[in-house]
Amino acid sequence: MPVTAGAEFGGAAFAVIGRLLGARSGTGDGADDDGGRDLDGAVVVQGRTITAVQIPARLEGLPPRRVRAAFVAPGFIDLQINGAFGFEVGTDPAALHALAARLPATGVTAFLPTLVSRGAADYDLAFAAFDTFAGAAEATDATGAEAPARALGLHLEGPLLAAARRGAHARPPIEQADAALVERLADPRRVRVVTLAPERDGVPALVARLSARGIVVALGHTDASFEAFTAAVDAGATLATHVFNAMSPLHHRAPGATGAALTDDRVTALMIADGVHTHPAAFKLAVRAKGGGRLALVTDATPGAGLGPGVSHLGSQSVVIDQTSARLPDGTLAGSTLTMDRAIRNAVAFAGLTAGQAVRLATAVPARVLGLGDRGSLFAGARADLVLLDEALNVTATYVGGGLAYAGAGAGGP
Please identify every residue annotated as catalytic: 300
The rounded distance, in Å, linking the Cα atoms of 242 and 272 is: 6
Three-class DSSP labels, 216-234: EEEECCECCCHHHHHHHHH
The bridge status of strand 191-196 relative to strand 216-219 is parallel
The rounded distance, in Å, linking the Cα atoms of 395 and 141 is: 23
The rounded distance, in Å, linking the Cα atoms of 121 and 316 is: 15
Question: Do 287 and 348 contact (CB within 8 A), yes or no?
Answer: no
Question: Do 397 and 406 contact (CB within 8 A), yes or no?
Answer: yes
What three-state secondary structure class fits 259? Answer: helix
Which residue, among 85, 81, 135, has the nearest Cα to 112 in the 3D structure? 81
What three-state secondary structure class fits 326? Answer: strand
Question: Do 135 and 151 contact (CB within 8 A), yes or no?
Answer: no
Residue type, 255: P
Which residue, among 278, 343, 270, has the nearest Cα to 305 in the 3D structure? 343
Which residue, among 227, 210, 217, has the nearest Cα to 196 in the 3D structure? 217
Which residue, among 113, 243, 139, has the nearest Cα to 191 in the 3D structure? 113
Question: Do 155 and 116 contact (CB within 8 A), yes or no?
Answer: no
Q: How many angstroms from the chain centroid is the CA of residue 195?
A: 14
The rounded distance, in Å, linking the Cα atoms of 272 and 347 is: 10
For the stretch 334-349, what's the b/e string if a residue is b when 16 or more beta carbons lie within 10 angstroms of its beta carbon?
Answer: bbbbbbbbbbbbbbbe
Phi, psi of 272 (to 5 degrees): -100, 100
The rounded distance, in Å, linking the Cα atoms of 224 and 144 is: 47
